[in-house]
């Protein structure tokens, strides 16, 4: 690892200087008078909870957000009247959280989209390929120019995005949550690339809400909270603990440790030989066996897209397995429909809460009633009893501390955390035997995440079996009693929490057996 080298730009005028940037979406002030300086060749971290305004600020920088006020200066030039084209020409490139690549085209084809200079209407691919190879070598960014983007791994696609920005002459590279899609080994590779870029004079703005990453890669850290700058720190002069406090506004408590489960606790759910072939004949699940005991949180770790979503949907009854058996409390529920599974004691917290978890256009009340419209006392003789429903809804809003004006408020207008609390209140109300939770804290800020975790742990203490499917390795490691790693529709191994180590799990997530 190279140390940060002092560069002339450090002392004098910075490469980028944003002053008093304000961005509003309707009534929401996403950015409120933010200042940010980045020196040439510096790695500047932008830290903050979800919704703190990090992505908005960067979108403002590349001309994708409506700037209300403030000024931007880059390399001594005023570029306050920013647009995507102005940003590109100035030398600012951004790698978005969701990649902006066309999967059916090759790397070289993707790179020259929108660049008439590379030959128009027929791009000169030889020249492009040569240029890519040059960049590849210079920054140790391995990329095959003739590969189809669809055939590349997520990590490789990210490298293509970085090269795309460099190709367009970026001297400042914005990486928006670049590690959220990577496995641990890929993250180390990305950090190596960032260090290379920095050493050769390219400034990097690194957006993250993960403290350890920010601590290990950045030189300066700007912490955003609720659209404002909470603090700016030198990485060498701060600690993860201080950063967490600045980010959230209070000291975080440690997660309560999950109590150990005894070998004798009875299995609640048993999944045997589950296979699933999708409509395009792709094998998504290749014989999955899992046992979840009473009072156990069984974590499924894995990189997104390795069959976790299919597994959850099959358990919930939304998707039919090609073969295999699902037992719940000794009962075969493989052939039961969703409603009967719910009655058998299954709860499902889907990963896409805005689509499967909630009806965004309906009220808080209606969303809490979703599973009760055939159940007394909430529905009697086919009619809803609004007195009973109102009492239930008010109790849930109170118990789960859901922040809404009243129960008639549309789910759409709630914050992400409150939306998830709404889902939890509905799914936990029925005292389930088995909870299938998929990415239960995705997109939530730290306090909402803690809340969701504490609710799951409370259920676990009460003897509920929980299958926790998450791509956040930290989440799986800190909550689960046992951890299984999923790769290409198979379980690569199952560990007790005490015997699980990050490196082994990381290798299994990448599909490599013990090295």
Give me the least distance between CB of 426 and another protein, in Å please. 8
Give me the least distance between CB of 276 and another protein, in Å please. 17
Binding region for another protein (CB under 8 A): 27, 66-69, 249-250, 316, 318, 337-339, 341-342, 348, 350, 352, 355-362, 366, 369-371, 373-374, 379, 382-384, 386, 401, 403-406, 408-410, 413, 417, 426, 447, 450-451
Choice between 384 and 510, CB closer to another protein: 384
Give me the least distance between CB of 209 and another protein, in Å please. 17
| Residue in the block written with tokens 């990485």 | 235
Give me the least distance between CB of 384 and another protein, in Å please. 6
Q: Return the SS3 of 437.
A: strand
Q: Which residues does 410 contact at the CB level (< 8 Å), separation at least 6?
A: 360, 361, 362, 363, 364
Choice between 40 and 328, CB closer to another protein: 328
Give me the least distance between CB of 52 and another protein, in Å please. 14
Q: Which residues does 342 contact at the CB level (< 8 Å), separation at least 6?
A: 371, 430
Give me the least distance between CB of 469 and another protein, in Å please. 15
Give the residue from 171, 176, 222, 177 showing the smallest Cα distance to 200: 171
Choice between 113 and 338, CB closer to another protein: 338
Using only C-alpha atoms, the chain has a radius of gyration, in whole angstroms, of: 25
| SS3 of 89-152 | HHCEEEECCCCCCCCCCEHHHHHCCCCHHHCCCCCCHHHHHHHHHHHHHHHCCCCCCCCEHHHC
DSSP code per residue over 264-280: TSPEEEEEEEEEEE-TT
Query: How far lies 395's CA from each of 369, 380, 458, 493, in Å?
Result: 13, 20, 18, 42
Give me the least distance between CB of 367 and another protein, in Å please. 8
Choice between 212 and 447, CB closer to another protein: 447
Choice between 234 and 398, CB closer to another protein: 398
DSSP structural state of residue 432: -
Choice between 140 and 380, CB closer to another protein: 380
Structure tokens at 183: 């496995």
Give the residue from 348, 350, 370, 349 showing the smallest Cα distance to 359: 370
Give me the least distance between CB of 369 and another protein, in Å please. 7
Structure tokens at 418: 């409150």
Structure tokens at 241: 């603990």
Give me the least distance between CB of 343 and another protein, in Å please. 8
Q: Which residues pair with 417 in a beta bridge?
A: none
Choice between 151 and 352, CB closer to another protein: 352
Choice between 67 and 170, CB closer to another protein: 67
Residue 220, φ and ψ in degrees, nearest 5: -125, 155
Choice between 451 and 487, CB closer to another protein: 451
């Amino acid at each position: 690892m190279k140390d940060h080298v002092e560069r002339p730009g450090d002392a004098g005028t910075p490469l980028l200087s944003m002053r008093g940037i304000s961005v509003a979406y309707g009534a929401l002030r996403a950015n409120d008078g933010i200042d940010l300086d980045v020196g040439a060749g510096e790695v500047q971290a932008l830290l903050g909870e979800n919704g703190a305004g990090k992505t908005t600020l960067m979108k403002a920088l590349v001309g994708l957000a409506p700037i209300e006020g403030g000024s931007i200066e880059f390399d001594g030039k005023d570029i306050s009247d920013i647009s995507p084209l102005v940003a590109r020409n100035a030398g600012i490139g951004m790698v978005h959280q969701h990649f902006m690549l066309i999967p059916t085209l090759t790397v070289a084809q993707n790179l020259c989209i929108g660049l008439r200079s590379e030959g128009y209407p027929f791009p000169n691919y030889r020249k492009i390929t040569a240029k890519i190879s040059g960049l590849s070598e210079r920054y140790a960014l391995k990329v095959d120019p003739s590969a189809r983007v669809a055939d590349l791994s997520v990590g490789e696609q990210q490298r293509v995005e970085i090269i795309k920005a460099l190709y367009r002459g970026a001297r400042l590279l914005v990486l928006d949550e670049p590690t959220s899609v990577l496995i641990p080994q890929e993250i180390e590779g990305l950090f190596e690339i960032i260090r290379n870029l920095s050493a050769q004079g390219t400034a990097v703005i690194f957006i993250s809400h993960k403290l350890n990453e920010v601590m290990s890669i950045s030189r300066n850290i700007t912490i955003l909270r609720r659209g404002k700058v909470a603090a700016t720190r030198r990485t060498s002069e701060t600690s993860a603990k201080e950063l967490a406090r600045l980010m959230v506004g209070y000291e975080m408590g440690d997660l309560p440790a999950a109590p150990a489960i005894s070998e004798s606790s009875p299995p609640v759910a048993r999944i045997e030989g589950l296979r699933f072939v999708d409509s395009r004949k792709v094998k998504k699940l290749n014989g999955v066996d899992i046992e979840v005991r009473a009072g156990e949180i069984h974590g499924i770790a894995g990189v997104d897209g390795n069959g976790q979503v299919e597994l959850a949907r099959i358990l919930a009854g939304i998707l039919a397995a090609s073969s295999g058996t699902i037992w719940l409390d000794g009962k075969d529920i493989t052939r039961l429909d969703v409603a009967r599974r719910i009655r058998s004691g299954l709860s499902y917290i889907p990963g896409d809460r805005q689509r499967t978890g909630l009806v965004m256009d309906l009220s808080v009340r209606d969303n809490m009633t979703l599973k009760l419209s055939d159940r007394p006392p909430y529905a009697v003789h086919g009619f809803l009893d609004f007195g009973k429903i109102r009492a239930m809804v008010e109790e849930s809003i109170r118990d789960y501390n859901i922040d809404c004006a009243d129960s008639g408020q549309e789910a759409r207008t709630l914050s992400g955390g409150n939306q998830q609390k709404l889902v939890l209140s509905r799914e936990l109300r029925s005292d389930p035997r088995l909870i299938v939770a998929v990415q239960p804290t995705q997109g939530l800020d730290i306090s909402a995440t803690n809340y969701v975790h504490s609710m799951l742990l409370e259920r676990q203490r009460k003897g509920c079996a929980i299958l926790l499917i998450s791509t956040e390795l930290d989440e799986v490691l800190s909550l689960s009693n046992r951890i299984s790693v999923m790769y290409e529709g198979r379980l690569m191994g199952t560990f007790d929490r005490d015997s699980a180590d990050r490196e082994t799990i990381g290798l299994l997530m990448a599909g490599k057996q013990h090295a």
